[in-house]
């Protein structure tokens, strides 16, 4: 199955609270730039989740070791792995 979503996030704002998805996401930035941070799953059941998570709190994020996935820009697509917040 494949699908497509479009999101608009004005400069200086955040589109969504940190969360993980139950899908693999290929990000194509059309304008501007955005930093993406990916975290390791908290549990093995989050590695390939069946459902998206609720919003993660700052306290939950501080317990995770994150790495910068990269900066999505018009000429630089990014991949958001399934289960990665």
- The domain spans of the chain are 40-85
Give pLDDT tens digits for 60-70: 877 776 654 55
Contact of 85 with 19, CB cutoff 8 Å: yes
Q: What is the pLDDT of residue 27?
A: 78
**Total-model pTM:** 0.57
Question: At 81, phi and psi to the nearest 5?
Answer: -65, 145
Q: Examine the pLDDT at 33 and tell me if it is beyond 60.
A: yes
DSSP β-ladder status, 66-72 and 78-80: unpaired
For residues 56, 43, 72, 25, the Cα torsion angle rounded to the nearest 10 degrees is -100
Q: Examine the pLDDT at 78 and tell me if it is beyond 70.
A: no
Q: Examine the pLDDT at 43 and tell me if it is beyond 60.
A: yes
Give pLDDT tens digits for 6-31: 888 888 888 888 887 888 877 788 88
- R_g of the chain computed on alpha carbons: 13
Contact of 36 with 68, CB cutoff 8 Å: yes
């Amino acid at each position: 199955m494949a699908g497509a979503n479009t999101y608009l996030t004005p400069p200086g704002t955040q589109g969504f609270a940190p969360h993980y998805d139950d899908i693999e996401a290929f990000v194509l930035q059309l304008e501007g730039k955005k930093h993406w941070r990916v975290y390791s799953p908290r549990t093995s059941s989050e590695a390939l989740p069946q459902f998206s998570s609720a919003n993660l709190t700052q306290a939950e994020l501080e317990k995770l070791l994150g790495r910068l996935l990269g900066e999505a820009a018009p000429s630089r697509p990014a991949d958001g792995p399934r289960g990665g917040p």
